[in-house]
A and B are shown apart, each in its own frame.
Chain A
Amino acid sequence: MQFNEKSVLDGLSFEVRPQDRLVIMGQSGSGKSTILRLILGILQPSSGSIFFKQFEITRLRRRKLQQVRQHIGMVYQDSALLSSRNVRDNVALPLEELTDKSRQEIDKIVDEKLDLVGLKDSKEVMPAELSGGMKKRVSLARALVLEPELLLFDEPSMGLDPVISSVIDELIISLSEKSKATSITVTHEMDSAFRIGTRMAMLYQGKIIADAEPEEFKRSKNPVVSQFLSGSTEGPILEGSQDAIATK
């Protein structure tokens, strides 16, 4: 995957098994969010293929891609709620636009999903009036409303305090388990990553350099993984990077 001739992901390859909760970690700007956008078909890779079940995302025509996207739920870093619609309308949007359900059926599903994230009483509130954690929860409810098979989370605990961050993590775990959905989370927040993940992967210089279960991942001998987990300034990650030059 290239941006302005700069290669961001190069030779990247991984597989996610059903009901896995894969967490992809990596530095800021390493291309973690790009992976999610590639899976959704919002970005097109310069080469290579991406498969979701039997569908090759990279080769799907627009109409088919729109249909496949309905089986994938995405929670954005900044929640990406539609600011002109209240909580109820945000959550109801996919149902109104993509299904033939009646208003009563939609209301029932919306209530159910908002209840799952603990926001049943905030239906009429506008996104601007919600806290960061509440926005994330609404976004989660919206992602779940079409019962997706795959959930994508882009930095789910970014900008939240540790307590609310844990609440969101717990929600991700419980909702993924309840809906039997597979999930891919990209984050660089350690606590969050180890809480959510049943599998961890480390993205470095455009490649997955480590992929293991959390305990095994913690014990990794890979110097990049060790440095990333310890947060040390000494090691391969900062060598030659702009951040290293700034610290000297």
Chain B
Amino acid sequence: MQGIGSIGRNFFQEVGSLFWFIARTFDETIDRLRSGRVPFRAASFFRHCERAGVDSVPLAGLVSFFLGLTMALLTGYQLQRFGTERLIPGLVAIAFTRELGPLITGIMLAARIGAAFTAELGTMQVSEEVEAIEAMGIEPLRFLVAPRMLALFFLMPCLSTISNVAAIAASGLVSRAYFHIAFVYFLELVRDGLLIRDIITGVLKSFMFGLLIGAIACYRGLTVRGGAAGVGTATTSSVVTAITAVIGFDTLYNIIYTGFFPT
């Protein structure tokens, strides 16, 4: 019982610290804006956008393409038995737009960029670079965390969209090759199957995933203790925490969403 209590206490402590971390980052950033100055250099923001977004396009696109192929193939053969293979386009499109696109992209970004951010900030922390920034009178959260977190926040929906398009394109190929659904008819079925709210919900989720991954990665990086070994531990922990948080948040979102829109 004591063990469970301690785990629970640590969990809530971590969640509280993470929220405080996000709030403080926003506070420092808004404070800076209020004083009429840019919160961070545009070059820094675009550098992180390039790393997190542009450089992740091939990975997100390729993985989603393969998943789209597999999903269309597996569901197609099952649906063919009932003569309903024309449902493949709608099924893949809805599944990816609402759920799999943001989720897969979130998991990939947590592993690829979240780990990089944690390792980078963790190394800066152990080599006293972060403290030196603070000692100069510069707010480290505004200077180091805000551009990273915002880059992930804005880039995540773009990557999710690329993931969705890749998966739908892959299922289009499978539908044409194995189930004789012409591309024009395929697109028509996708349009019929998808609702605007599926797209909106996917985009909203993506924004939140981006914010979560960025915050967790930076938080883990800036709380590193114990030299190189600490950086390694924090990086592993950052990836695990970010992936768990993304899936957990997705579940919570779906529970609330289906409460409002059951169909």
**A contact set with B: CB distance below 8 Å:** 37, 40, 42, 63, 66-70, 72, 74, 76-78, 80-83, 93-94, 96-98, 100, 142, 146
Are B128 and A78 in touch, CB under 8 angstroms?
Answer: yes
Q: Which residues of B contact A72 (CB under 8 A)?
A: 135
Interchain Cβ contacts within 8 Å, total number: 59
| Chain-A contact segment, one of B87-95, B100-108, B137-145, B255-263 | B137-145
**Can you report 13 residue pairs joining A to B where beta carbons are below 8 Å apart?**
A42-B134, A66-B137, A66-B138, A67-B137, A69-B136, A74-B132, A82-B133, A83-B123, A83-B124, A83-B129, A94-B136, A96-B41, A98-B137
Q: Taking A63-B31, A97-B143 as contacts, is the C-beta distance between A80 and B128 under 8 angstroms? A: yes
Cβ of B151 to closest chain A Cβ, rounded Å: 15
Q: Which residues of B contact A98 (CB under 8 A)?
A: 136-138
Question: At the interface, is chain B mostly helix, strand, loop or mixed?
Answer: helix
- The proximity string for B residues 138-156 relative to A, scoring 1 for CB distances below 8 Å and 0 otherwise, is 1100010000000000000
7 closest A-B pairs by beta carbon, nearest first, are A80-B132, A69-B137, A70-B137, A80-B128, A74-B135, A66-B137, A94-B136
Q: Which of A40, A42, A83, A97 contacts B127 (CB 8 A)?
A: A83
- Closest B residue to A70 by beta carbon equals B137
Q: Which residues of A contact B123 (CB under 8 A)?
A: 83
Q: Which of B150-204 contact A (CB under 8 A)?
A: none
Q: Which residues of A contact B132 (CB under 8 A)?
A: 74, 76, 80-82
Give A142 to B135 CA distance when docked, in angstroms. Answer: 12
Give A10 to B138 CA distance when docked, in angstroms. Answer: 30
- B131 close to chain A: CB less than 8 A: yes
Cβ of A148 to closest chain B Cβ, rounded Å: 10
Q: Which residues of B contact A142 (CB under 8 A)?
A: 136
Q: Which of A42, A66, A76, A146 contacts B139 (CB 8 A)?
A: A66
Give A42 to B128 CA distance when docked, in angstroms. Answer: 12
Q: How many residues of B contact A (CB 8 A)?
A: 18
**B contact set with A: CB distance below 8 Å:** 31, 37, 41, 123-124, 127-129, 131-139, 143
Q: Taking A63-B31, A97-B143 as contacts, is the C-beta distance between A70 and B129 under 8 angstroms? A: no
Which one of B127, B129, B138, B143 has the highest number of Cβ atoms from chain A below 10 Å of its Cβ? B129
Are A80 and B131 in touch, CB under 8 angstroms?
Answer: yes
Are A40 and B135 in touch, CB under 8 angstroms?
Answer: yes
Are A80 and B139 in touch, CB under 8 angstroms?
Answer: no
Q: Which residues of B contact A69 (CB under 8 A)?
A: 134-137
Are A80 and B138 in touch, CB under 8 angstroms?
Answer: no
- Closest A residue to B31 by beta carbon equals A63
Give A67 to B128 CA distance when docked, in angstroms. Answer: 20
Are B136 and A93 in touch, CB under 8 angstroms?
Answer: yes
Q: Which residues of A contact B37 (CB under 8 A)?
A: 100
Cβ of A222 to closest chain B Cβ, rounded Å: 32
Give A70 to B133 CA distance when docked, in angstroms. Answer: 11
Q: Which residues of A contact B133 (CB under 8 A)?
A: 82, 93
Q: Taking A63-B31, A97-B143 as contacts, is the C-beta distance between A80 and B137 under 8 angstroms? A: no
Q: Which residues of B contact A93 (CB under 8 A)?
A: 133, 136, 138
Given contacts A72-B135, A96-B41, 13 further A-B contacts (CB under 8 A): A42-B134, A66-B137, A66-B138, A70-B136, A74-B132, A78-B127, A82-B124, A83-B124, A83-B127, A83-B129, A93-B133, A93-B136, A94-B136
Q: Which residues of B contact A80 (CB under 8 A)?
A: 127-129, 131-132
Give A66 to B37 CA distance when docked, in angstroms. Answer: 16
Q: Which residues of A contact B131 (CB under 8 A)?
A: 37, 42, 76, 80
Give A83 to B121 CA distance when docked, in angstroms. Answer: 11
Q: Which residues of B contact A67 (CB under 8 A)?
A: 137
Q: Which residues of B contact A146 (CB under 8 A)?
A: 136
Give A60 to B134 CA distance when docked, in angstroms. Answer: 15
Give A172 to B127 CA distance when docked, in angstroms. Answer: 23
Q: Which residues of A contact B124 (CB under 8 A)?
A: 82-83
